[in-house]
Chain A
Amino acid sequence: MSKILKGLAAWVIALIVIIVIIVAAVGIYYGVILSSHKTITITYFDDLAPEEAKVFQTIILPQFEKEHPNIQVKYIDEGASDIVKNVEELVMSGKVGPVIIGEDNLVIGELLYGGYLMNLTPYINQILQNVTLISSMNALVQYEQKVYHGIYFIPLRANVPLVWYNKTVFEELNLTPPQNWQQLLQDAKIIYEKTGVKPIMFQGHGGASTYTELYQWMVQAGGNPFLFNDSGDILAFEYLYNLSEYFNPDYIHGYWGSYQGLANGKYYILDYQWPYIYSVLASEGVNMSRIGVYPGPAGPANDDHLVGGDVLAIPKGATHIKALIEFAKFLLSPQVQREFIIDLAWPAVNELAYKNLPSNISVVYEAEEEALEHAFFREPVPWITVWGQIADQVFNKIIVNHAPYSEIPQILSQANKEMYEYLLKNYNATVAQEYEEGIFGPLYG
């Protein structure tokens, strides 16, 4: 018996020795060999879908590394709020290193307000050497100059959510893509009655996916989403309440990564999803001529579209600024921005990228361009994620848990009150007052 035990103990010790050797070897490689080449390794954070990240890592980043042989780029993919938290932690720890981030324009406000970003004004001329920002992006830049008296982030790319639908089903039922909310409701009803499938997929999982989608619905009804209870907001929720009868049951899991149901017939209308799914679906062998895409139905008040997308920023205390600036210049250069358009279907922020585009530009891109004609940004206030949390709760109460229709206005008023009190407690009375007066709202270009 003890022989077996001694054998096992010896085996465990051998395992430990092997592990130590592996770890030491890896450590030596990274610590000694890499650094002896005096290469600077920049860390670049961004929040991309897996397909987009692949293009970035295999096509775009290697180009930079070829042009700058002594700079390596380490790409790290994280969710937008994870990037916020990560930057906060890095700055708090005092050991930042060469870090540059591509952050969602939704949450950049939190980093701005908290003072976690480096002031880029001294470097702006260098970075924008070869760049003319498209006019809609100016709204964002003007915002930061007005509120923060400096340039702390630079728009990198735009992203516009679109509506996707199953062309086969629409053709069979003689329907056309709905051009307004009423038509959407009607079409959904017809599809459900004829096929028994609840056709609409909504991003109902909660978190940024849900409250971003809600934001656009509320703006299109003429409301200021931050307030929750102005007439447009109430209208939007009442409409969604009725529309939710035709939501596919899977909607409570819907988020920025949901698209497969459109391909395998689970649902027929993907109400607002980011354009990256076009190339994903195509690469998975889906017959794309059966999938339709367009900017979506117009709301009762307007046909405005939310612009997402990323901005470039550098955490305070970052090192090797020169290398970071080279990288920023690279990403904003006409060449790379052109690749954004062609390879990723991302609307570029550099006007110079739009020269001489190939004529067979994708149907997705056309839809994006149409949507961008009336575009707005979510104002990057630092408390937007708290607003989002409350919006989630409201969505849960009204749509998911199906509160009585008559209670919608009071639920929304309650949300407004909670937001006000949060601002009162965590900021100050001025901010809370400004909030109530609707000073914070969608930013137009």
Chain B
Amino acid sequence: MKRNILLYIGAIVVGIYFLFPLYVLVLLAFNSPKYTILKLYPSLLLQAPTLNNLIVALQGTAFIDPFIKSLETATLVGLITIALAVPAGYGLSRIPGRIAYPILVLLLVTNMMPGIVIGIPIAVDFIKLGLYETVIGLALAQTLITLPLATFIMQGTFSAIPSDLEYQARIDGADLFHRLFSVLIPLAAPGIVASFLISWMFSWDEFTYAILLMPYHSTLPVTIYIDVTRGNLLAGIAFSLVFTIPVIVLSYALQKYLKGEYLAGGLKG
């Protein structure tokens, strides 16, 4: 019994710790500015709830433009990532481990390169190539972040599909095309969807490449940063709130796919 009380106290403290900043965001967005940014010790309670902050901030192209940019970029990143990761994951699952392993490590090492280090030369090159301030340029760069994990997931997914199934289909006379679409892809679908969603979310969140490669009419994260540093505090807060909602929804949906299976699959393979 004593241990249970300790457990519950711990659980509640942890819960408050993780929820508090989200609560503050809600306060900032929905409390009248009198109680938030204009007050020295901002109120910890929702004292004068108002939708006005959001209404004023979300009108007009100031919000729609970055929102659409973020949407376009994230979707492109998702598509490019699975275009690269699905074949790579399949290939890696079908070759011997001792060759696959170094390649996976190579991809992992890529993830370790700081965005700011790679971003600067890429920015300079993109200016000359005309890819600067373009959605396609940014998407190409952001794929760097999403590719290693997606390949890892796809490799795990394809590894879990026994090669006998494929073999069986080949014996049954199906050519590569049919093998792909009636056997492999349906079975790999959860992994593909997970990869797409994770890549989408990474891109949605991404800041470093966005601020280096598209600093002026940028995605939402950079726009929020610019608003907050240029004195448009309420706009920054409102955008932040709206920006967070798709991610919470997707995270919840993704929770079902993030169970150990796909992460561990790569370790075993």
Contacts and interface: CB of A to CB of B under 8 A. Distances in A.
B168 interface: no
B75 A19 contact: yes
A77 B37 CA distance: 23
Given A6-B189, A12-B196, A49-B231, A26 B38 contact: no
Interface stretch (B10-18, B108-116, B127-135): B127-135
Contacts of A9: 189, 192-193
Nearest to B40: A264
A93 B124 CA distance: 10
B232 interface: yes
B216 A78 contact: yes
B258 to A, nearest CB: 13
Interface in A265-322: 265-266, 284
Nearest to B64: A26
A265 B71 contact: no
A181 B130 CA distance: 53
B72 interface: yes
Contacts of A402: none
Contact of A77 (B127, B196, B230): B230
A12 B193 contact: yes
Contacts of B127: 89, 92-93
15 contacts: A5-B189, A5-B190, A8-B193, A9-B192, A19-B71, A19-B72, A19-B75, A23-B71, A26-B68, A85-B215, A86-B216, A92-B127, A93-B128, A93-B130, A93-B132
**Shortest Cβ-Cβ A-B pairs, 9 listed:** A257-B231, A50-B232, A5-B190, A93-B127, A50-B231, A9-B193, A92-B127, A19-B75, A264-B40
Given A6-B189, A12-B197, A93-B132, 10 more contacts: A5-B193, A12-B196, A16-B75, A19-B72, A26-B68, A49-B230, A50-B230, A93-B128, A93-B130, A260-B38
A390 B250 CA distance: 46
Contacts of B79: 16
A247 B37 CA distance: 22
A95 B131 CA distance: 12
Interface of A is mostly: helix
A78 B128 CA distance: 23
A249 interface: no
A93 B232 CA distance: 31
Contacts of B192: 9
B39 interface: yes
B253 interface: yes
Contact of A264 (B38, B68, B128, B197): B38
A82 interface: yes
Interface string A330-374: 000000000000000000000000000000000000000000000
Contacts of B197: 12
Given A23-B68, A89-B132, A95-B130, A76 B216 contact: yes
Interface in A12-34: 12, 16, 19, 22-23, 26
A89 B132 CA distance: 9
A79 interface: yes
A128 interface: no
Nearest to A259: B231
A263 interface: yes
Which secondary structure dominates where chain B touches chain A?
helix
Interface in A48-66: 49-50
Nearest to B215: A82
Given A8-B193, A12-B193, A22 B130 contact: no
Interface string B220-249: 000000000011100000000000000000
A151 B235 CA distance: 39
Contact of B37 (A2, A76, A260): A260
Nearest to B124: A92
Contact of B128 (A5, A92, A284): A92
Contacts of B37: 260
B40 A265 contact: yes
A86 B123 CA distance: 12
Interface in B161-218: 186, 189-190, 192-193, 196-197, 215-217
Contacts of B193: 5, 8-9, 12
Contacts of A284: 38
Nearest to B193: A9
B69 to A, nearest CB: 10
Nearest to A89: B127
Nearest to A265: B40
B54 to A, nearest CB: 17
Given A93-B132, A257-B230, A23 B39 contact: no
B41 to A, nearest CB: 10
A421 to B, nearest CB: 24
Contacts of B253: 8
B230 A82 contact: no
Interface string A84-128: 011001001101000000000000000000000000000000000
Nearest to B72: A23
B39 A264 contact: yes
A12 B79 CA distance: 12
Nearest to A82: B215
B198 to A, nearest CB: 12
Contacts of B189: 5-6, 9
B52 to A, nearest CB: 14
Nearest to B78: A16
A415 B189 CA distance: 62
Contacts of A257: 230-231
Nearest to A94: B130
A416 B130 CA distance: 40
Nearest to A49: B231
A22 B65 CA distance: 12
A8 B196 CA distance: 12
Nearest to A4: B256
B75 to A, nearest CB: 5
A81 B12 CA distance: 48
